Structure 1
Amino acid sequence: MTRTSQESVALTDLIDRTVDVARQDTLRLGRVVDTFEQTGFAALIMIPSAAVVTPLSGIPLFSSLCGLTIALFSVQWLIGRDQVWLPQWLGRRSLAGSKVREAMTRLRPAAAWLDGHSHTRVRFLFHRPFRFLLPLSCALFGAFMPLLELVPFSSSLLGGAVCLIAFSRMTRDGLYALIAILPVGAVVWALYALVLSG
């Protein structure tokens, strides 16, 4: 895989490029990575997390696949890799291109709103020691998605949080990361405490 560069990219551009890539009958995850790896880990994480927010999350095991992908990319982002590693078995996972196009098209109005309402703020999140908080949060939220597989569409909450964190990193607008991390982090911690007490 080639080097990632963490380029700034508009969310609508990311969605439009995903729609273009999905014009083939079947879209493999490896093809998505090949297309977006040079835009950085945040952009790569945005694609599966956005997909989980859509009705695609109702497909059996789809949320688990996206969660594992998010966690894998987030860990690589966290440890500072400059190249993307994707297992062959995961790269071969595929979905009907028509379903991906429909899902991404539904997200475009929300993406346009986010693009129009973001600017540089809450910048401390992008500097030491806080800059590790974003990839760590994405890794944890992605890892929790398979656990929510039995509750249809529940993983969409975590997918939305990861979307906002990735968007925050791409635009350097830390406000969206705070909006995502604080409430969702509290819910995840409450669930974790509940499991321990049980």
Structure 2
Amino acid sequence: MKGDMAHPDTSSRPITAIIDRLEDTTTRDQVTLRCMIEAFGKSSFTTAMCVPALLVTSPLSGIPLFSSACGILIASIAAQMLVGRDHLWLPSFVMNRSIGNDKMLAALRRLHRIGERIDAITRPRLRPLMTGPFRKLYQALCVLCGVLMIFLEIVPFSSSVLGMATILFATAIIVRDGVLACLGVAIMCIGASLPFFALQAM
């Protein structure tokens, strides 16, 4: 399927392979989101979507407006997957956002543990849930996750939870794992409900 193929290096251990590739981009004092996403090519939509989703689950999510920037990228990439674009386009004002090399490397080291755990439980399962209509549903849910990140910027942990849901959806699409997709739906519901818990606690 055009515009929705994983990078070849991510086929056997998708998340850790993406994190390894991101580490290769940290050769400058400042690393831009453009540099990180374009490392996967302009037609690898699913792997590209994993980049902001991974970053927003790291301590980098504590940087003001960083979660919103990741949400915009996730929503933009997923929307273009949904409509079947062949090549990725993303807004420059978000792509030019930079992160200090030291912060980036520290975040990637933490993400390695997450990646290894996800890869360890991922395999092709419940393939009927990964057919065309369901894949479109997961892409639409990724759009929703990205949009919610923008509006829930000030709600603690919400963006990280929604980022994890996006990672699970993307990995499920890459590996054709219906169980992982169902887990993504459950985690997305938790992330979307966090504002209500926060209001009750006030």
Q: How does 1:110-125 map to 2 (within 5 A)?
A: 110-125=114-129
Could you tell me how far 1:88 is from its partner in structure 2? 2.2
- Post-superposition CA distance 1:20-74 (Å, at most 9, x none): 1022111111112221135721111111111111111111101000001100001
Residue 6 of structure 2 aligns with which residue?
6
Match for residue 96 of structure 1? 100
- Alignment check: 8 A CA contact 1:58 1:152 kept: no
Which residue is 1:149 aligned to?
Answer: 153
How much is the aligned-residue C-alpha RMSD, in angstroms?
Answer: 2.3
**In structure 2, distance between residues paired with 1:53 and 1:45:** 13
In the other structure, the counterpart of 2:71 is 67
Q: Secondary structure at the match of 1:27?
A: strand
8 Å CA contact 2:42, 2:88 repeated in 1? no
Structure 2 counterpart of 1:173, from 170, 177, 197: 177
Structure 2 residue 40 is the aligned partner of structure 1 residue 36:
yes
Q: Tell me, which stretches of 5 or more residues in structure 1 are unaligned?
A: 193-198
Q: Post-superposition shift, 1:185?
A: 3.2
Distance 1:32 1:183, change over 3 A: closer
For residue 4 of structure 1, report the CA deviation from its aligned partner: 6.3
TM normalised by structure 1 equals 0.87
Pick aligned residue for 1:188 from 185, 189, 192: 192
Alpha-carbon offset, residue 189 of structure 1 = 7.3
Structure 2 residue aligned with 1:77? 81
Check conservation: 1:121, 1:175, Cα contact below 8 A: yes
1:54 aligns with 2:58: yes
Q: 1:127 to 1:28 in 2, by over 3 A?
A: same
Instruction: Name the CA distance, whole Å, in 2 between partners of 1:91 and 1:190.
Output: 28
For structure 2, the residue ranges without an aligned partner over 5 or more in a row are 197-202
Give distance in 2, aligned partners of 1:183 and 1:56: 20
Match of 1:26 in 2: 30
- Aligned residue pairs, count: 191
Q: What is the CA-CA distance between 1:19 and the residue it aligns to?
A: 1.1
Say yes or no: does 1:109 pair with 2:113.
yes
CA contact (8 A) 2:60 2:66 kept: yes
Per-residue CA distance 1:142-167 (angstroms, 9 max, x = gap): 10001111123321111111111111
CA pair 27-70 structure 1, distance change in 2 beyond 3 A: same
Q: Secondary structure at the match of 1:163?
A: helix
Q: Would you say the 8 A contact 2:127–2:178 is kept in 1?
A: yes
Q: What is the alpha-carbon distance in structure 2 between the residues aligned to residue 41 and residue 115 of structure 1? A: 19
Which position in structure 2 is the counterpart of 1:164? 168
Residue 130 (str. 1) matches residue 134 (str. 2)? yes
Amino acid at match of 2:127: R
Taking the aligned partners of 1:37 and 1:85, their CA distance within structure 2 comes to 11
